[in-house]
Amino acid sequence: MKLISRETVAEKLAAYLRHELTLANLVAWAESALMEGEFDPIHLTTIRDTVARLGVADVRAFGLAWEDCEQLLAQLGYSAQVSIVSR
């Protein structure tokens, strides 16, 4: 597994929000990253805490609401924007 950076985690969250990654796959990635991944030492605490939070997102008591994603992205130094387009 490659070095996990803030960008890596933000990309995973973005893929989830775009419905390119299921919640189950996001949680599986996070669990794997916690066990086998190497986090960018510059932002270790932020990345580790965010990935740990994603690792329990499939538990009813935790879940993963839009507001949670916004907060996690903000902690990583990102913001989410919504674009409404016609089909």
B/e letters for 37-58, b = 16+ CB within 10 Å, e = fewer, are bebbeebeebbbebbebbbebb
Q: Which two tokens stand for residue 2?
A: 């490659």
Q: Domain-by-domain residue ranges, the chain?
A: 3-76
> pLDDT of the chain along its 87 residues, tens only?
689 999 999 999 999 999 999 999 999 999 999 999 999 999 999 999 999 999 999 998 888 999 999 999 999 999 999 889 898
Give pTM, 2 decimals.
0.91
The residue with tokens 């919640």 is 23
Are 76 and 6 in contact, with CB atoms under 8 Å apart? yes
State residue 80 phi and psi, 5-degree precision: -100, 140
